[in-house]
Amino acid sequence: MERTITLKYQDLPLAASIDYPPPENRSAERKVPLVVICHGFVGSRLGVDRLFVLAAREFAQRGSLVIRFDFAGCGESGGEYGRHGLDSMIDQIRTVLDYGLSLDCVDPLRVTLLGHSLGGAAALLAASRDRRVKSLALWSAALHPFADIVRIVGKDVYERALKEGRADYRGFTLTPAFFESLQQFQPFHQAPRFHGDVFLAHGTSDEAIPADYTFLLEKTFWLRGEGRCDKTILFQADHTYSNGEHKAELFQATADWLDRYEERQRDWHHWSI
Least confident stretch, 22-31, 64-73, 222-231, 245-254: 22-31
**Above 90 in pLDDT, residue 122?**
yes
Give alpha helix (H) positions in 7-85. 51-61
Report whether pLDDT(235) > 60: yes
Which amino acid is located at 201 in the chain? A
What local confidence, expressed as pLDDT, does residue 26 receive? 60
- Which pLDDT value is given to residue 25? 60
pTM of the predicted protein model:
0.94
Torsion over CA: 160, 145, 73, 13 (sign): negative
d(CA 226, CA 248): 30
pLDDT of residue 246: 98
Q: What mean pLDDT comes out for the span 14-30?
A: 83
Residue count of the chain = 273
Q: What is the largest CA-CA distance in the chain?
A: 60
Element (H, E) at 139: strand 135-139
Residue 231 pLDDT exceeds 50: yes
Where are the chain's structural domains? 2-147+188-272
Instruction: Give 201's strand partners.
Output: 139, 232
pLDDT interval class at 13 (50, 70, 90): very high
With residue 209 as reference, give the H or E element that holds it.
none
pLDDT tens for each residue of 69-98: 999 999 999 999 988 899 999 999 999 999
Residue 269: its pLDDT value, please? 46
Angle (CA) 28-33-35 rounded to 5° is 135
Nearest partner of 68 among 44, 50, 45, 91, judged by Cα: 45
pLDDT digits (tens, 9 = 90+) for 23-78: 876 655 689 999 999 999 999 999 999 999 999 999 999 999 999 999 999 999 99
Do residues 218 and 192 lie in contact, with contact meaning Cβ atoms separated by under 8 Å? no
- Among 170, 125, 126, smallest CA distance to 149 is for 170
Classify domain 2-147+188-272 by CATH number: 3.40.50.1820
Q: Which element (helix H / strand E) includes 35?
A: strand 32-38
